[in-house]
Structure 1
Amino acid sequence: MQHQPMHVLLLAFQGLNTLDLNGPIEVLGSSAIAEEKYFTITVAAADEITEAFEHVLIKREISFAELLDNKGKLLSKYDMLIVPGGPPQNVQKVIDAGDEGLMAVIRGWVDAANEDKRQRWLMSICTGSGFLVASERGAEQTEVVRKRWVDAGKIDAYTRLVTSGGVSCGIDCVLWMVGELIGMEKAVKIATVMDYNWEFGSVPVTQGQII
Protein backbone atom coordinates (compact mmCIF):
# COMPACT_ATOMS: atom_id res chain seq x y z
CA MET A 1 0.00 0.00 0.00
CA GLN A 2 1.40 3.39 -0.98
CA HIS A 3 1.79 6.08 1.63
CA GLN A 4 3.23 9.54 1.95
CA PRO A 5 6.28 9.69 4.24
CA MET A 6 6.04 11.73 7.41
CA HIS A 7 8.54 14.58 7.44
CA VAL A 8 10.32 14.88 10.79
CA LEU A 9 12.21 17.99 11.90
CA LEU A 10 14.73 17.82 14.77
CA LEU A 11 16.15 20.98 16.36
CA ALA A 12 19.80 21.02 17.43
CA PHE A 13 21.44 23.56 19.75
CA GLN A 14 24.88 24.04 21.25
CA GLY A 15 25.44 21.68 24.18
CA LEU A 16 22.53 19.31 23.53
CA ASN A 17 22.59 15.69 24.68
CA THR A 18 23.72 13.44 21.83
CA LEU A 19 21.31 10.59 22.56
CA ASP A 20 18.36 12.99 22.73
CA LEU A 21 19.02 13.67 19.05
CA ASN A 22 20.44 10.37 17.83
CA GLY A 23 17.93 8.16 19.67
CA PRO A 24 14.94 9.36 17.61
CA ILE A 25 17.06 9.28 14.43
CA GLU A 26 18.03 5.65 15.14
CA VAL A 27 14.37 4.68 15.54
CA LEU A 28 12.88 6.64 12.65
CA GLY A 29 15.72 5.80 10.28
CA SER A 30 15.94 2.14 11.27
CA SER A 31 16.86 -0.44 8.66
CA ALA A 32 13.81 -2.38 9.90
CA ILE A 33 11.52 0.05 8.04
CA ALA A 34 13.95 1.67 5.58
CA GLU A 35 12.39 0.13 2.47
CA GLU A 36 8.93 1.46 3.31
CA LYS A 37 10.24 5.03 3.72
CA TYR A 38 7.75 5.98 6.40
CA PHE A 39 9.82 8.92 7.67
CA THR A 40 12.18 11.56 6.30
CA ILE A 41 14.51 13.23 8.79
CA THR A 42 15.86 16.80 8.77
CA VAL A 43 18.16 18.34 11.38
CA ALA A 44 17.98 22.13 11.79
CA ALA A 45 20.21 24.39 13.86
CA ALA A 46 21.20 28.02 14.26
CA ASP A 47 24.84 27.29 13.43
CA GLU A 48 26.40 25.29 10.61
CA ILE A 49 28.13 23.07 13.18
CA THR A 50 26.61 22.25 16.57
CA GLU A 51 28.79 20.81 19.33
CA ALA A 52 26.95 18.41 21.61
CA PHE A 53 27.64 18.18 25.34
CA GLU A 54 29.66 15.05 24.60
CA HIS A 55 31.81 17.08 22.13
CA VAL A 56 30.35 15.37 19.06
CA LEU A 57 30.04 17.74 16.09
CA ILE A 58 26.71 17.80 14.24
CA LYS A 59 26.22 19.40 10.83
CA ARG A 60 22.81 20.88 10.13
CA GLU A 61 20.80 20.36 6.96
CA ILE A 62 18.90 23.63 7.23
CA SER A 63 19.12 26.75 9.39
CA PHE A 64 16.47 28.21 11.65
CA ALA A 65 16.62 31.36 9.52
CA GLU A 66 15.79 29.39 6.38
CA LEU A 67 12.86 27.71 8.12
CA LEU A 68 11.52 31.09 9.24
CA ASP A 69 12.04 32.80 5.88
CA ASN A 70 8.97 33.77 3.85
CA LYS A 71 6.81 33.83 6.99
CA GLY A 72 7.78 30.29 7.91
CA LYS A 73 5.99 28.65 4.98
CA LEU A 74 8.57 25.86 4.87
CA LEU A 75 7.55 24.78 8.39
CA SER A 76 4.19 23.56 7.11
CA LYS A 77 6.04 20.70 5.38
CA TYR A 78 6.91 18.95 8.64
CA ASP A 79 4.52 16.51 10.30
CA MET A 80 6.57 15.99 13.45
CA LEU A 81 8.84 18.30 15.45
CA ILE A 82 11.28 16.81 17.97
CA VAL A 83 13.03 19.07 20.48
CA PRO A 84 15.95 17.42 22.31
CA GLY A 85 17.31 18.49 25.66
CA GLY A 86 20.66 18.65 27.37
CA PRO A 87 22.23 19.77 30.65
CA PRO A 88 19.87 22.36 32.18
CA GLN A 89 22.50 25.09 32.08
CA ASN A 90 22.92 24.62 28.32
CA VAL A 91 19.19 24.84 27.68
CA GLN A 92 18.95 27.94 29.86
CA LYS A 93 21.93 29.50 28.08
CA VAL A 94 20.14 29.23 24.73
CA ILE A 95 16.97 30.71 26.23
CA ASP A 96 18.84 33.54 27.97
CA ALA A 97 20.90 34.39 24.88
CA GLY A 98 17.88 36.10 23.37
CA ASP A 99 18.29 34.26 20.07
CA GLU A 100 14.70 33.74 19.09
CA GLY A 101 15.55 31.25 16.33
CA LEU A 102 14.78 27.97 18.06
CA MET A 103 11.74 29.25 19.95
CA ALA A 104 10.45 31.00 16.84
CA VAL A 105 10.65 27.73 14.91
CA ILE A 106 8.57 25.99 17.59
CA ARG A 107 5.98 28.78 17.60
CA GLY A 108 5.85 28.93 13.82
CA TRP A 109 5.51 25.17 13.47
CA VAL A 110 2.60 24.94 15.95
CA ASP A 111 0.88 27.91 14.32
CA ALA A 112 1.33 26.33 10.87
CA ALA A 113 -0.35 23.16 12.11
CA ASN A 114 -3.40 25.13 13.18
CA GLU A 115 -3.52 27.08 9.92
CA ASP A 116 -3.25 23.95 7.78
CA LYS A 117 -5.68 22.03 10.00
CA ARG A 118 -3.52 18.93 9.75
CA GLN A 119 -2.67 16.60 12.64
CA ARG A 120 0.96 16.92 13.75
CA TRP A 121 3.13 15.65 16.58
CA LEU A 122 5.27 17.80 18.88
CA MET A 123 7.75 15.92 21.06
CA SER A 124 10.25 17.18 23.63
CA ILE A 125 12.93 15.08 25.28
CA CYS A 126 14.13 15.75 28.82
CA THR A 127 14.91 19.43 29.40
CA GLY A 128 13.85 20.19 25.83
CA SER A 129 10.45 20.88 27.39
CA GLY A 130 12.02 24.10 28.67
CA PHE A 131 12.04 25.38 25.10
CA LEU A 132 8.32 24.65 24.83
CA VAL A 133 7.75 26.75 27.93
CA ALA A 134 9.94 29.57 26.63
CA SER A 135 8.21 29.52 23.24
CA GLU A 136 4.79 29.56 24.92
CA ARG A 137 3.76 26.52 22.93
CA GLY A 138 3.15 23.19 24.62
CA ALA A 139 4.19 22.40 28.18
CA GLU A 140 3.35 24.97 30.82
CA GLN A 141 5.68 23.38 33.37
CA THR A 142 8.52 20.88 33.36
CA GLU A 143 7.30 18.22 35.81
CA VAL A 144 6.68 15.91 32.86
CA VAL A 145 10.40 15.41 32.24
CA ARG A 146 10.56 13.29 35.39
CA LYS A 147 8.40 10.65 33.72
CA ARG A 148 9.52 8.04 31.19
CA TRP A 149 7.20 9.64 28.69
CA VAL A 150 3.79 11.36 28.82
CA ASP A 151 1.17 11.68 26.09
CA ALA A 152 -0.33 15.07 26.87
CA GLY A 153 -2.90 14.89 24.08
CA LYS A 154 -3.75 17.88 21.89
CA ILE A 155 -2.44 21.26 23.04
CA ASP A 156 -4.03 22.99 20.08
CA ALA A 157 -6.65 21.81 17.64
CA TYR A 158 -4.12 20.06 15.41
CA THR A 159 -1.01 19.52 17.56
CA ARG A 160 -0.47 16.48 19.75
CA LEU A 161 2.13 16.98 22.48
CA VAL A 162 4.27 14.15 23.83
CA THR A 163 7.08 14.71 26.32
CA SER A 164 9.65 12.28 27.66
CA GLY A 165 12.35 11.98 30.27
CA GLY A 166 15.99 12.13 29.30
CA VAL A 167 18.42 10.06 27.23
CA SER A 168 16.99 6.55 26.60
CA CYS A 169 13.47 7.76 27.50
CA GLY A 170 13.41 9.52 24.15
CA ILE A 171 13.94 6.18 22.41
CA ASP A 172 11.01 4.67 24.31
CA CYS A 173 8.82 7.62 23.42
CA VAL A 174 9.60 7.56 19.69
CA LEU A 175 9.07 3.79 19.55
CA TRP A 176 5.64 4.31 21.09
CA MET A 177 4.85 7.07 18.57
CA VAL A 178 5.90 4.77 15.73
CA GLY A 179 3.49 2.18 17.13
CA GLU A 180 0.71 4.74 17.11
CA LEU A 181 1.48 5.93 13.59
CA ILE A 182 2.40 2.82 11.59
CA GLY A 183 1.65 -0.08 13.92
CA MET A 184 3.00 -1.76 17.03
CA GLU A 185 4.39 -4.67 15.01
CA LYS A 186 6.76 -2.35 13.17
CA ALA A 187 7.75 -0.57 16.39
CA VAL A 188 8.65 -3.91 17.98
CA LYS A 189 10.60 -4.85 14.86
CA ILE A 190 12.63 -1.66 15.14
CA ALA A 191 13.38 -2.28 18.83
CA THR A 192 14.44 -5.84 17.98
CA VAL A 193 16.82 -4.70 15.24
CA MET A 194 18.24 -2.14 17.68
CA ASP A 195 18.69 -4.93 20.26
CA TYR A 196 16.85 -2.59 22.61
CA ASN A 197 15.02 -3.93 25.65
CA TRP A 198 11.79 -2.00 25.24
CA GLU A 199 9.21 -2.39 28.00
CA PHE A 200 5.97 -0.60 28.81
CA GLY A 201 5.24 0.70 32.26
CA SER A 202 2.00 -0.07 34.12
CA VAL A 203 0.30 3.23 33.30
CA PRO A 204 -3.18 3.54 31.76
CA VAL A 205 -2.03 4.54 28.26
CA THR A 206 0.15 1.42 27.84
CA GLN A 207 -1.24 -1.04 30.36
CA GLY A 208 -2.34 -4.25 28.69
CA GLN A 209 -0.29 -3.73 25.55
CA ILE A 210 2.16 -6.58 25.05
CA ILE A 211 5.47 -5.98 23.34
Structure 2
Amino acid sequence: MVETTAEIVLFDGFDELDAIGPYEVLENGARAGASVEARLVTLEETALVTASHDLRVEPDGTVGEPDLLLVPGGGWTTANEGVRAAVEDGVLPDAVAERAADGATVASVCTGAMVLAEAGLLEGRPATSHQVAVDDLEDYVETVVDARVVDDDDVLTAGGVTAGIDLALWLLEREFGAEIASAVETEMEHERRGDVAR
Protein backbone atom coordinates (compact mmCIF):
# COMPACT_ATOMS: atom_id res chain seq x y z
CA MET A 1 0.00 0.00 0.00
CA VAL A 2 1.32 3.44 -0.93
CA GLU A 3 1.73 5.68 2.09
CA THR A 4 0.00 9.06 2.13
CA THR A 5 2.32 11.88 3.13
CA ALA A 6 0.73 14.63 5.18
CA GLU A 7 2.78 17.75 5.86
CA ILE A 8 1.78 20.47 8.29
CA VAL A 9 3.65 23.64 7.43
CA LEU A 10 4.82 25.70 10.40
CA PHE A 11 5.78 29.37 10.54
CA ASP A 12 6.58 31.75 13.37
CA GLY A 13 3.38 32.67 15.19
CA PHE A 14 1.30 29.65 14.12
CA ASP A 15 -1.33 28.57 16.64
CA GLU A 16 -0.12 25.48 18.49
CA LEU A 17 -3.39 23.54 18.53
CA ASP A 18 -4.08 24.30 14.85
CA ALA A 19 -1.01 22.23 13.95
CA ILE A 20 -0.43 19.83 16.83
CA GLY A 21 -4.09 18.74 17.07
CA PRO A 22 -4.22 17.46 13.47
CA TYR A 23 -0.70 16.05 13.79
CA GLU A 24 -1.72 13.94 16.79
CA VAL A 25 -4.88 12.75 15.03
CA LEU A 26 -2.93 11.68 11.95
CA GLU A 27 -0.22 9.98 14.03
CA ASN A 28 -2.89 8.10 15.98
CA GLY A 29 -4.49 7.22 12.66
CA ALA A 30 -1.23 5.65 11.51
CA ARG A 31 -1.10 3.60 14.71
CA ALA A 32 -4.69 2.52 14.08
CA GLY A 33 -3.80 1.24 10.62
CA ALA A 34 -4.02 4.22 8.27
CA SER A 35 -1.22 4.32 5.73
CA VAL A 36 -0.26 7.90 6.51
CA GLU A 37 2.91 9.66 7.59
CA ALA A 38 2.53 13.06 9.26
CA ARG A 39 5.41 15.54 9.26
CA LEU A 40 5.86 19.02 10.72
CA VAL A 41 7.70 21.08 8.13
CA THR A 42 8.84 24.61 7.32
CA LEU A 43 9.52 26.37 4.03
CA GLU A 44 13.19 26.84 4.81
CA GLU A 45 15.61 24.85 6.95
CA THR A 46 15.42 25.97 10.58
CA ALA A 47 16.18 24.46 13.98
CA LEU A 48 13.11 25.79 15.82
CA VAL A 49 9.81 27.51 15.11
CA THR A 50 8.15 29.61 17.81
CA ALA A 51 4.37 29.36 17.94
CA SER A 52 1.86 31.98 19.08
CA HIS A 53 1.89 30.87 22.72
CA ASP A 54 5.70 30.54 22.73
CA LEU A 55 5.84 26.77 22.21
CA ARG A 56 9.09 25.99 20.39
CA VAL A 57 8.89 23.19 17.85
CA GLU A 58 11.70 21.36 16.08
CA PRO A 59 10.42 20.63 12.55
CA ASP A 60 11.02 17.34 10.74
CA GLY A 61 12.43 19.14 7.70
CA THR A 62 11.27 21.32 4.85
CA VAL A 63 8.13 21.02 2.76
CA GLY A 64 8.40 18.41 0.06
CA GLU A 65 5.83 17.00 -2.35
CA PRO A 66 3.08 15.87 0.03
CA ASP A 67 -0.23 14.28 -0.81
CA LEU A 68 -1.79 16.57 1.81
CA LEU A 69 -0.51 19.99 2.86
CA LEU A 70 -2.15 21.49 5.93
CA VAL A 71 -1.79 25.17 6.86
CA PRO A 72 -2.52 26.20 10.46
CA GLY A 73 -3.67 29.65 11.49
CA GLY A 74 -2.70 32.08 14.22
CA GLY A 75 -1.99 35.78 14.35
CA TRP A 76 -4.44 37.10 11.75
CA THR A 77 -5.54 39.98 13.96
CA THR A 78 -2.01 41.10 14.87
CA ALA A 79 0.17 43.12 12.51
CA ASN A 80 3.44 41.53 11.43
CA GLU A 81 2.74 38.19 13.12
CA GLY A 82 1.64 34.69 12.20
CA VAL A 83 -0.72 34.28 9.27
CA ARG A 84 -0.93 38.04 8.70
CA ALA A 85 2.85 38.23 8.20
CA ALA A 86 2.84 35.08 6.03
CA VAL A 87 0.13 36.48 3.75
CA GLU A 88 1.84 39.85 3.44
CA ASP A 89 5.20 38.19 2.71
CA GLY A 90 3.62 36.05 -0.02
CA VAL A 91 6.13 33.19 0.10
CA LEU A 92 3.89 30.72 1.95
CA PRO A 93 0.82 31.36 -0.26
CA ASP A 94 3.01 30.85 -3.35
CA ALA A 95 4.38 27.57 -1.96
CA VAL A 96 0.86 26.36 -1.14
CA ALA A 97 -0.38 27.27 -4.64
CA GLU A 98 2.57 25.40 -6.15
CA ARG A 99 1.83 22.23 -4.14
CA ALA A 100 -1.85 22.43 -5.10
CA ALA A 101 -0.89 22.79 -8.78
CA ASP A 102 1.25 19.67 -8.39
CA GLY A 103 -1.81 17.73 -7.20
CA ALA A 104 -1.65 17.97 -3.42
CA THR A 105 -4.85 18.18 -1.42
CA VAL A 106 -4.63 21.41 0.58
CA ALA A 107 -6.30 22.04 3.92
CA SER A 108 -6.37 24.86 6.43
CA VAL A 109 -7.28 25.26 10.06
CA CYS A 110 -8.59 28.48 11.53
CA THR A 111 -7.15 31.62 9.89
CA GLY A 112 -4.85 29.47 7.78
CA ALA A 113 -7.72 29.83 5.30
CA MET A 114 -6.37 33.30 4.56
CA VAL A 115 -3.17 31.73 3.23
CA LEU A 116 -5.26 29.52 0.93
CA ALA A 117 -7.26 32.58 -0.11
CA GLU A 118 -4.11 34.53 -0.93
CA ALA A 119 -2.87 31.50 -2.88
CA GLY A 120 -5.97 31.77 -5.09
CA LEU A 121 -7.31 28.38 -4.02
CA LEU A 122 -10.63 29.51 -2.57
CA GLU A 123 -11.99 31.48 -5.52
CA GLY A 124 -15.43 30.16 -6.42
CA ARG A 125 -15.39 27.70 -3.53
CA PRO A 126 -17.17 27.38 -0.20
CA ALA A 127 -14.89 27.76 2.83
CA THR A 128 -14.77 28.46 6.54
CA SER A 129 -12.33 29.97 9.02
CA HIS A 130 -12.13 31.32 12.56
CA GLN A 131 -14.79 33.94 13.24
CA VAL A 132 -12.17 36.72 13.40
CA ALA A 133 -11.37 36.22 9.71
CA VAL A 134 -14.83 35.60 8.26
CA ASP A 135 -15.35 39.17 7.03
CA ASP A 136 -11.96 39.13 5.27
CA LEU A 137 -12.57 35.66 3.86
CA GLU A 138 -15.81 36.81 2.20
CA ASP A 139 -13.73 38.81 -0.28
CA TYR A 140 -12.11 35.62 -1.60
CA VAL A 141 -14.74 32.87 -1.64
CA GLU A 142 -18.05 32.01 -3.21
CA THR A 143 -19.66 31.28 0.16
CA VAL A 144 -18.49 31.42 3.75
CA VAL A 145 -20.03 28.37 5.37
CA ASP A 146 -20.91 28.20 9.05
CA ALA A 147 -19.41 24.76 9.62
CA ARG A 148 -16.58 23.12 11.54
CA VAL A 149 -15.23 21.54 8.34
CA VAL A 150 -15.86 22.33 4.68
CA ASP A 151 -14.76 19.66 2.18
CA ASP A 152 -14.53 20.85 -1.42
CA ASP A 153 -12.66 17.79 -2.70
CA ASP A 154 -9.03 18.88 -3.05
CA VAL A 155 -9.38 21.93 -0.80
CA LEU A 156 -10.64 21.67 2.76
CA THR A 157 -11.03 24.35 5.41
CA ALA A 158 -11.81 24.15 9.11
CA GLY A 159 -13.10 26.68 11.60
CA GLY A 160 -11.21 27.95 14.61
CA VAL A 161 -8.52 26.09 16.53
CA THR A 162 -10.11 22.85 17.83
CA ALA A 163 -11.91 22.38 14.50
CA GLY A 164 -8.55 21.15 13.20
CA ILE A 165 -9.06 17.96 15.19
CA ASP A 166 -12.42 17.46 13.46
CA LEU A 167 -10.77 18.17 10.11
CA ALA A 168 -8.07 15.55 10.64
CA LEU A 169 -10.60 12.98 11.85
CA TRP A 170 -12.67 13.66 8.73
CA LEU A 171 -9.60 13.21 6.54
CA LEU A 172 -8.91 9.85 8.21
CA GLU A 173 -12.51 8.81 7.62
CA ARG A 174 -12.54 10.05 4.02
CA GLU A 175 -9.24 8.46 3.05
CA PHE A 176 -8.97 5.40 5.29
CA GLY A 177 -12.46 4.57 6.52
CA ALA A 178 -14.85 5.30 9.37
CA GLU A 179 -13.46 2.49 11.53
CA ILE A 180 -10.01 4.07 11.79
CA ALA A 181 -11.43 7.55 12.38
CA SER A 182 -13.75 6.20 15.06
CA ALA A 183 -10.89 4.38 16.79
CA VAL A 184 -8.85 7.59 16.93
CA GLU A 185 -11.84 9.61 18.10
CA THR A 186 -12.39 7.12 20.92
CA GLU A 187 -8.72 7.03 21.89
CA MET A 188 -8.50 10.82 22.03
CA GLU A 189 -11.85 11.10 23.85
CA HIS A 190 -13.00 13.68 21.34
CA GLU A 191 -16.53 14.10 19.99
CA ARG A 192 -16.82 15.70 16.58
CA ARG A 193 -19.33 18.52 16.31
CA GLY A 194 -21.63 19.06 13.36
CA ASP A 195 -21.66 17.55 9.91
CA VAL A 196 -18.96 18.14 7.34
CA ALA A 197 -20.19 20.60 4.71
CA ARG A 198 -19.62 19.18 1.22
**1:187/1:149 Cα in 2 relative to 1: closer, same or farther (>3 Å)?**
same
Q: Which runs of 4+ in 1 moved over 3 A?
A: 138-141, 143-146
Using the alignment, how far apart are the partners of 2:97 and 2:197 within structure 1? Answer: 30
Residue 49 of structure 1 corresponds to 48
Listed as ranges, the gaps of 5+ residues in structure 2 are: 125-135, 139-143
Cα displacement (A) at 1:121: 2.1
Q: How does 1:1-211 map to 2 (within 5 A)?
A: 3-30=1-28, 33-34=30-31, 36=33, 38-45=35-42, 46=44, 47-63=46-62, 67=63, 74-75=64-65, 78-88=66-76, 89=78, 90-96=82-88, 98=89, 100=91, 102-113=92-103, 120-138=104-122, 142-143=137-138, 144=144, 147-153=147-153, 160-201=154-195, 205=198
Gaps of 5+ in 1: 68-73, 114-119, 154-159, 206-211
- Measured in 1, the distance between the counterparts of 2:197 and 2:31 equals 31
How far is 1:35 from its partner? Answer: 6.0
Structure holding more helix per residue: 1
Larger radius of gyration: 1
**Count of aligned residue pairs for this structure pair:** 176
TM-score scaled to structure 2, two decimals?
0.79
Deviation at 1:152, TM superposition (A): 2.1
Rounded to whole Å, the distance in 1 between the matches of 2:23 and 2:96 is 19
Amino-acid identity (%): 25
Structure-2 change in CA distance of 1:54 and 1:146 (3 Å): farther
| Secondary structure of the structure 2 residue equivalent to 1:36 | coil
Q: Which residue in the other structure is 1:209 paired with?
A: none
Matched residues in 2 for 1:86 and 1:19: separation? Answer: 10
Q: CA deviation at 1:204?
A: 6.5
For the Cα contact (< 8 Å) 2:69–2:106, is it kept in 1?
A: yes
Letter in 1 for 2:73: G
Shift in Å at residue 33 of structure 1? 4.0
Q: Deviations over 1:129-188 (max 9, x none)?
A: 1111222233567254853111123xxxxxx11100011111111111111111111101
Cα gap change, 1:149/1:188 in structure 2, threshold over 3 Å: closer, same or farther? same
Query: Deviation digits for residues 8-50 of structure 1, max 9, x if unmatched?
Result: 11110111110000111111001x6416351111222144311
